[in-house]
Amino acid sequence: MIFFNPAGAPELACDACGCRWFDRMTGACYECGTPVSAESQAEYRRALEEFALRRSGGGEGDRGA
């Protein structure tokens, strides 16, 4: 599952235990060792891209004043 931190950045969280610590080398949860599904990784990647677009002013509405 994917969480969004207070800064609006997506964080990948474990489906099994809900922790947000993933070992990017193995693609598994640090806490319980559950592997991250390719689906979740793709979803996280999309969320990251959207976040980057928003931050670079690509989004609508927020002009950053």
| Contact positions vs Zn ion (CB under 5 A) | 14, 16-17, 29, 31-32, 34
CA 21 to chain centre: 11
Tell me the longest C-alpha to C-alpha distance in the chain.
Answer: 43
- State which residue, 12 or 29, has the beta carbon closest to Zn ion: 29
Encoded tokens for 62: 């927020």
Give the rounded distance of the alpha carbon of 56 from its chain centre.
18
Shortest spacing between CB 51 and Zn ion, in angstroms: 23
The least distance separating Zn ion from the CB of residue 27, rounded to whole angstroms, comes to 12
**Cβ closer to Zn ion: 25 or 65?**
25
